[in-house]
Amino acid sequence: MASYYFIPWEGDRYRKGYVRGKRLLLLGESHYDMAGRAKPGRDFTVRVVKALGLAHEKKHPYWTKLAQIVTGEGAADIDREGFWQEVAFYNYVQECVGSGPRI
């Protein structure tokens, strides 16, 4: 498998700090390539956060639970846009690991 070295998501206000001026980097494990792309591209993490973390219409459990853990707020109370604009997100494994969980 090829390594892609995905660039991290960095919210617009990340550099100002999340809590008491401290920056917060959320580290995930890996991406899934559910669409079956051969090369997801270097901006894959950024596109995933925009599509799933910032999603307004359909909430995705992983991204909602991640924000809940950090903020301590209930799913209905989270300001998704505000949260993701203040943090960075990156995955440890730098290539897609399959087409979905446990595959």
Mean pLDDT score of the chain? 84
Does the pLDDT value for residue 1 go beyond 80?
Answer: no
Q: Report pLDDT digits (tens) over 17-50.
A: 877 789 999 999 988 776 666 567 889 899 989 9
Whole-angstrom Cα distance, residue 103 to residue 100? 6
**pLDDT: is 4 or 69 the higher one?**
69
**Contact (Cβ atoms closer than 8 angstroms) between residue 13 and residue 50:** no
Which of the four pLDDT bands, split at 50, 70 and 90, describes residue 103?
A: low
Please tell me the predicted confidence (pLDDT) of residue 96.
80
Any idea what the Cα angle at residue 42 is, between residues 94 and 52, rounded to 5°?
Answer: 85
